[in-house]
Structure 1
Amino acid sequence: MTKQSMYFTMIWHALLRRRSRMLIALLAVAIGATVLSGLVTIYYDVPRQMGREFRSYGANLLLLPTGEQQVLAENEISSIANLLPSDKLIGIAPYLYDHMKVNEQPLLVAGTHFQTVKKVSPYWQIRGVWPDENSEDVVLGAEVAERLQIEPGQLVTLASNDSEKKVKVAGIVRTGGKEENFVFLDLSLLQQMLHKEGMISVAQASITANETELTEWTHTIEQQVPGVAPRLVKQVTQSEQTVLGKLQALVYLVTIVVLLLTLICVATTMMAVVTERRKEIGLKKALGAENRSIILEFLGEGLALGTLGGLMGTILGFFFAQAVSVNVFGRGISFQPLIVLLALVVSVSVTGLACLIPVKIATDVEPAIVLRGE
């Protein structure tokens, strides 16, 4: 039998002889690794998940005309969309605002692309249906519908300075905001009636990104599209950063506490093991064993616990993070091999650190005193 195989056999039998104590230490390491792996996975995935959640609150970037201009060219929005990463851009909803008469009453109207609005502002609640793309149907804000006493399916008359058109009300929208005082219709229809083809007043963009990334993109847009003034929606972006910061701080705190508790549990267990084995240690020293071999033996036991507990914990941690993500965000997470490696390294490091005090106690054992039974 080689020295290495004998060393591993000795560690294995030492662990088996004290199954109950070692099982407690193993569970402590496994639980610590589970929490560590799960929380780090959540920490890694929270910005992406929270970004998606905040996108349901509407746009986080406005695209306005610069200087004294009142309108933007619609093709400039396409240029801006090409500057933004496609995997992070939810959508850009253009709007053209003006006044028109609706059933002889002067009201605010807004032309837009309804299918894009559904992506950018998913919090809009529609009673009825969304109009199809390029449809002449309109959507009334809840306040307007109540004032005109109009229900979905009824007809209303839109009148500009030189044109008039009867259109059907497809739905009534509630947003809890100023949108309830507007009449919404297809952008191309409003442009045609107002003779403002290719013109828009503003565009609202929804992008899955943090405030730093958004700020960088606003500078890029300002430099490459001179006629557009991008502005962050501060309420949304700052709220997102605040919530993310607090969640990530909580993850740090819980992880540190769990690792400290794991370290204490493993250290206490190994100290109890050393106390039980004082005679064995004394006998080994009396037979010529060096402190180095005693240290390697106890460190080997601790690192074996760390490796096994770390492997168990990283597997359980992924399922823990998956359960949290599904229940909180309604979406799954992807497996991250680097997080598994990190959790395993930290588990082994913590158990190795926890063994330092017990190992010091083991090396201080005096053979003569122990073997006399003192």
Structure 2
Amino acid sequence: MQSKPTIAIIGAGLGGAAVAVLLQQAGFKIKVFEQAPEFSRLGAGIHIGPNVMKIFRRMGIEEKVSAMSSHPDFWFSRDGFTGDYLSRIPLGDYALKEYGAAYITVHRGDLHDVMLSPLGSGTVQFNKQLETIEDTGSEVVMTFTDGTTDTADIVIGADGINSRVREELLGVEAPTYSGWVAHRALITGAQLARFNHNFEDCIKWWTEDRHMMVYFTTGRRDEYYYVTGVPEPEWNSSASWVDSSREEMRAAFDGYHPTVQALIDATESVTKWPLKNRNPLPLWSRNRLVLLGDACHPMKPHMAQGACMAIEDAAMLVRCIEEVGLSEYQTAFDLYAANRVERASKVQRISNANTWLRTDEDPSWCFGYDLYGTPLVDIGSKVEGAA
């Protein structure tokens, strides 16, 4: 390898942003390629657990993220029809004391902006959609749809469920439609004020075959977000999302509690997204290519840990590279898989099953996890599915 090897990151979403910042802070030379023309405050809400706030502490952004976010005291689960409480999972001060960091909910766009802020201007190259990638043995050659090419010593695929890097490792295979859709909407505080209801900070309304997760996305409580999980047998659109409507929402949640009906009445714009899956991958890396996040373990959003798992992947990958040195990249990738596959697969399984925190269970195995405080397992301990 060169004296100053280059690491290319394909995709600058939350996982890509995290791995870029952590690699930069560790002194590595990086290039980040993003297919979007720019980033803007689009998207949706997101949960960040104490397990990831501790990674943000290492990145130097914990306080800024905390200051702009909502800090729910509980995760409430309630029966969608009767409103009866199914669980009250303590967060707030309890999370700070028991898990070592806050539990927050925030707008994904706001979080993304803060995560990217430590990177130098020009680090992220936009309008760079990866077309082909070739591992020559001595370097990786990347060709983009704009006709340009670039090279790197290592390539990290943080390019989501439709990862081009994953296709290079495992061949072309479309993700499968899960049979569920997610409706997403942001409601302003002014809209909420029209309704005399107790809109709790973080609540999931459940019935047997569907749910609605609702929470504030700012510390000012001026934005309230919901995301649903609703069965829909087929998805016949090639689009990543389509417009929905209040009428469709009323039909999907017919008979639900009056507070849910008020939320639907307050909705001005709602979209509908297909939820897609992949089976657990047989490998996460090969030679100079390695995957993280949705590129290797996409999951339904029902556990609110998908982005958190991508950020944990990023932190563990950098930790393993630092542990053994980039000249031993294959050992680093094997060590990364040995320390991530079991946890990520467990979260993927529980998230897809949609059972998380429906009853009063102990979430400490997830929220209390300290990536930097947990000793690394050796490569011989890796589980089935690792590279």
Choose 1 or 2 for highest CA Rg. Answer: 1
Q: TM-score range by the shorter chain?
A: under 0.3
Higher helix share: 1
Name the TM-score, length of structure 1 as normaliser.
0.24
Q: Larger relative CO (CA 8 A, sep 6+): 1 or 2? A: 1
Higher strand share: 2
Name the TM-score, length of structure 2 as normaliser.
0.23
